Amino acid sequence: MLYRNFLKPIFFRMDPEQAHHTVMGGLATAAKIPGALSIMKGLYGVQEDPMLATDLFGLHFHSPIGLAAGLDKNAEAVKGLSSVGFGFLEVGTVTPVGQPGNEKPRMFRLPEDDALINRMGFNNKGADAMLTRLSQLKQHTVPIWVNIGKNKVTPNEAAHEDYLSCIRKLYPVADLFVVNISSPNTPNLRNLQHGEELRQLLGQIVQEMKLQNEAVGRNKAVLVKIAPDVTEEELAHMTETIVESGVSGIIATNTTLSRMGTTNQNRLESGGLSGKPLTIRSAEVIRQVYQYTDGKIPIIGSGGVFTAEDAYAQICAGASLVEIYTSFIYQGPDVTRELAKGLKQLLQRDGYQHISEAVGRDHRR
Ligand SMILES: Cc1cc2nc3c(=O)[nH]c(=O)nc-3n(C[C@H](O)[C@H](O)[C@H](O)COP(=O)(O)O)c2cc1C
């Protein structure tokens, strides 16, 4: 209510990136004010519910709704974001060296379409800055996933060095890693999703994770985030390679280059489209990945989740957890609680005791 009626009209009058910095700055400041986090938790927090709490990748998720990558690229508002009901936070994309990203403007709203277009280009302060930030946390109240990418200047032939360097540096402070090879805004990055390039890259990443895990006796997971702009045949090959590599899971999907279902004039801007126009496509990719992998590898849903029905559709298609970005911008912090509450009602309606029973339900009917 507070967000939708008062804050959103103010933010939506601002330039989108300026509004973004204002929100992130506000969340970071709130964490320094005594008692503010407890108030935010009271207003927006999501209580653990036995129907929704999930254990996966050796981690505990009090809610299956997490924050997708890109909102907190530098892990600057982790405490604030941990207080507004997310079951996990995916920070990044972080690259080994900080970089400015693309020229501004590079983020656009499409309000009639409940969508955003961005061509940020991995603007971030680099792995050292993220290490400093995450090292300052005394505890993780929700699991912190670190989404890693390659610097723009790094050629694809050397991309593995960037991913490995991020893992080596950030391993002590990350609960899980996400390999981002699906952003449309770093030239040629998406080529890493296919064929021999994918096989070699994932092989080296899984090997590095093994070394790191063995050194400390842990079993931290690494996931791969994929694009929605792939043919069925490409997806079949990709999933086969991903499963063979030993990676622990797949995030489906990143933003799309398609403009299908959009009307706002900003549809002409280049970049990745997120939000409602992605809802059906993301669920479809999740369904196909589940089918190609026989449900053997956990899938995390991402793309156009605005309502509990959207989240439930992704779960029934095969997702074990779901993450959001654009609906958080349009609906504000109430959205985490609304999604959790609605999901529980849908599970009860269909006679389930626990969310895990509904994962992949579409494939059993
Ligand atoms: C402004 C913006 C920046 C993003 N930056 C990243 C990023 O750095 N890394 C990444 O993997 N995904 C990034 N994403 C994609 C989101 O994590 C998410 O996968 C996508 O937006 C689909 O979910 P949504 O429809 O809930 O927004 C970004 C999305 C937006 C809107």
pLDDT by residue for the chain (365 residues), tens only, comes to 778 888 898 999 999 999 999 989 999 998 899 999 999 999 999 999 999 999 999 999 999 999 999 999 999 999 999 999 999 999 999 999 999 999 999 999 999 999 999 999 999 999 999 999 999 999 999 999 999 999 999 999 999 999 999 999 999 999 999 999 989 999 898 988 788 899 999 999 999 999 999 999 999 999 999 999 999 999 999 999 999 999 999 999 999 999 999 999 999 999 999 999 999 999 999 999 999 999 999 999 999 999 999 999 999 999 999 999 999 999 999 999 999 999 999 999 999 999 999 999 999 97
| DSSP 3-state percent helix, strand, coil across the chain (nearest 5) | 45, 20, 35
Q: Is 144 in the pocket of ligand 1 (CB under 6 A)?
A: no
State residue 195's pLDDT score: 85
- My answer on whether omega of the bond before 105 falls inside 30° of 0, hence cis, is yes
Q: Verify whether ligand 1 is closer than 6 Å to residue 305 (CB atom).
A: yes
Atom of ligand 1 nearest to the CA of 302: 23
Which token pair is 359? 């994962």
Contact partners, residue 309, CB within 8 Å, separation at least 6: 342, 346
Pocket test for ligand 1, best of 163, 179, 254 (most atoms within 8 A of CB): 254
The predicted pLDDT at position 25 comes to 92
CB of 93 sitting under 6 A from ligand 1 = yes
Determine the distance separating the centroid of ligand 1 and the alpha carbon of 260, expressed in angstroms.
18
Question: Ligand 1 centroid vs 92 CA: distance in angstroms?
Answer: 10
- Is residue 304 in contact with ligand 1, taking CB distance under 6 Å? yes
Q: Can you list the positions of beta strands (E) in 28-139?
A: 54-56, 59-61, 65-67, 89-94, 97-99, 107-110, 115-118, 124-126
Nearest CA, atom 6, ligand 1: 70
E-strand spans in 141-203?
Answer: 144-148, 176-180
Does the beta carbon of 275 lie inside 6 Å of ligand 1? Answer: yes
**Alpha carbon of 229 to ligand 1 centroid (Å):** 14
CA nearest 89: which of 341, 323, 302? 323
Alpha carbon of 316 to ligand 1 centroid (Å): 22
- What is the CA(29)–ligand 1 centre distance, in A? 24
Element (H, E) at 61: strand 59-61
- The residue contributing the CA closest to ligand 1 atom 28 is 70
Ligand 1 centroid to Cα of residue 274, in Å, is 7
Does the active-site annotation cover 82? no
Q: Kindly state if the Cβ of 180 falls inside 6 Å of ligand 1.
A: yes
Rounded to the nearest 5°, which phi and psi values hold at 248? Answer: -85, -20
What tokens does 31 get? 């964490």
Best mutation site among 114, 183, 325, 339 for ligand 1 pocket (most ligand atoms within 8 Å of CB): 325
Q: Is 303 in the pocket of ligand 1 (CB under 6 A)?
A: yes
Residue 3: its pLDDT value, please?
A: 85
Catalytic residue among 183, 274, 282, 327: 183
The CA distance from 320 to 316, in Å, is: 9
Query: Which atom of ligand 1 is least distant from the CA of 255?
Result: 20
> Cβ(324) to ligand 1 under 6 A?
yes
Nearest partner of 151 among 175, 129, 169, 125, judged by Cα: 125
Rounded CA-CA distance 84/197 in Å is: 39
Question: pLDDT value at position 72?
Answer: 97
**118, 156, 273, 291, 358 from 183: Cα distances, Å:** 10, 14, 11, 24, 30
State the pLDDT at residue 5. Answer: 86
Q: Which residue intervals of 182-278 are DSSP H helices?
A: 195-216, 232-245
Distance (Å) from CA 179 to ligand 1 centroid: 13
DSSP letter for 288, please.
H
